[in-house]
């Protein structure tokens, strides 16, 4: 497959490896790490200019780290001139918090809005738990695991 790069964060590398194996392409090279103060750092180690980029990342096991890794990876690919960026989320972070409760946030909507601002071309969620299409979760999340190339 030409012009396609598949990256993974630390939450779901096995799934990304299976996808690239099925597609017959290598997993794109990136490094995810932590600074001494626990800030997340991501380095994209190959060119994504004019490429379609798929980033596999989930909200587990460490949901906050997973969200930050995804946002940083999206931003790094966008700044490196990727043609399109697709966030593939096997489990949508904070999906259990998608309904308004007394004096609480709709955290799933906040995460959806942060993803929208980060700028992927499309967010794709395989499982949205309690956030069905049309819920107050935010932008539409499509129940599909791959984009137009698969």
pLDDT digits (tens, 9 = 90+) for 85-134: 988 887 777 777 777 777 777 888 888 888 888 877 765 554 444 444 44
**pLDDT computed for residue 119 by the predictor:** 77
**pLDDT computed for residue 120 by the predictor:** 75
Q: How far apart are CA 129 and CA 132, in angstroms?
A: 7
**pLDDT computed for residue 92 by the predictor:** 77
pLDDT digits (tens, 9 = 90+) for 46-99: 999 999 999 998 877 788 999 999 999 999 999 999 999 988 887 777 777 777
**pLDDT computed for residue 102 by the predictor:** 78
Match domain 4-125 to its CATH number in 3.40.50.620, 3.30.300.30, 3.40.50.2020, 3.40.50.920: 3.40.50.2020
Six-digit token pair at 94?
Answer: 């904070």
141 has a pLDDT exceeding 60 = no
Cβ neighbours for 27, distance < 8 A, ≥ 6 positions apart = 6, 7, 8, 16, 17, 20
CB 108 within 8 A of CB 138: yes
């Amino acid at each position: 497959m030409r012009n396609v790069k598949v990256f993974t964060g630390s939450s779901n590398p096995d799934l990304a490896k299976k996808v690239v194996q099925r597609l017959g392409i290598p997993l794109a090279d990136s490094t995810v790490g932590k600074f001494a103060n626990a800030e997340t750092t991501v380095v994209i180690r190959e060119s994504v200019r004019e490429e379609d980029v798929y980033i596999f990342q989930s909200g587990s096991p460490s949901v906050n780290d997973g969200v930050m890794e995804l946002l940083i990876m999206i931003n790094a690919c966008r700044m490196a001139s990727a043609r399109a960026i697709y966030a593939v989320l096997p489990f949508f972070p904070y999906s259990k918090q998608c309904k308004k409760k007394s004096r609480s946030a709709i955290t799933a909507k906040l995460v959806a809005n942060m993803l929208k601002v980060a700028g992927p071309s499309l967010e794709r969620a395989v499982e949205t738990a309690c956030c069905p299409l049309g819920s107050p979760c935010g932008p539409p999340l499509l129940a599909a695991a791959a984009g137009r190339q698969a």
